[in-house]
Amino acid sequence: MNWDPLILTFELALTTTLVLLLVSIPLAYWLSKTRSGLKPFLETLVSMPLVLPPTVLGFYFLLAFSPNNAFGAWIDEWLGIRLVFSFGGLVLASVVYSLPFMVQPIQTGLSSLPPSLSEAAATMGKSASTQLFKILLPNIRKSLLTGIVLSFAHTVGEFGVVLMIGGNIPGKTRVASIAIYDEVEALNYAAANSYSLILFALTFVLLLSVYLINGGYVNRFWK
């Protein structure tokens, strides 16, 4: 069996999750605190990937990043990055595609904390970033875990966006979900089955671990 698609899938999911964590914490923090009129619009944009067909997202990415296009040509020329049919493009598209899975749990977690926690820290002279890292985030560990695991699993499972913007280049953009489609088309059911089984087992274990940890089963077992 060719392991490349699986390895690529995990590289993509891992990179996407890390980037998402860096992007989503400040974004969710801002959303949980702001009273700006922009908030509903931003929340809508963040949630769009939940309902939009992935092909729509992929289609617009393809148009935007194409070197035949002003924007695509500009990043190609000035940054030397080609986002179409490349790993970088896949990461960017996956980050947008899985954004709600990371932002929403963190935002809900932050909003559920009483405001007096940050206020108490503020009267103690602590800055907003100290409040965030020492008080707020440590108290929403469950939400962070949910966000991390859901975005990882969701990226593993993506198909439409990747196919649109990444295509099917072996070792470069052919992730497991596309490899399965490919093998089925070639009537190679055994290979398709092994990829599928691995993905099935992996996502099951990932989600189960979230429920076990957040449900307190693991803590009870250790105590």
Residues that bind another protein (CB under 8 A): 114, 116-117, 119-127, 134-135, 138-139
Give 73 or 128: the residue with its C-beta nearer to another protein. Answer: 128
Residue pointed to by tokens 């559920």: 112
Give 113 or 206: the residue with its C-beta nearer to another protein. Answer: 113
Rounded to 5°, angle at Cα 142 from 200 and 99: 65
Give 68 or 123: the residue with its C-beta nearer to another protein. Answer: 123
What is the rounded CA–CA span in Å between residue 146 and residue 142?
6
Residue 69: CB minimum distance to another protein, A: 46
Give 34 or 193: the residue with its C-beta nearer to another protein. Answer: 34
- Cβ contacts of residue 134 below 8 Å, gap of 6+? 121, 126
Residue 119: CB minimum distance to another protein, A: 5
Give 68 or 116: the residue with its C-beta nearer to another protein. Answer: 116
Residue 115: CB minimum distance to another protein, A: 9
Closest CA to 197 of 176, 166, 174: 176
**Upper half-sphere CA count for residue 43 (Cβ side, 13 Å):** 17
Residue 114: CB minimum distance to another protein, A: 7
What is the rounded CA–CA span in Å between residue 76 and residue 8?
23
What is the rounded CA–CA span in Å between residue 28 and residue 21?
10
Residue 121: CB minimum distance to another protein, A: 8
Tokens (6 digits) for 121: 């820290």
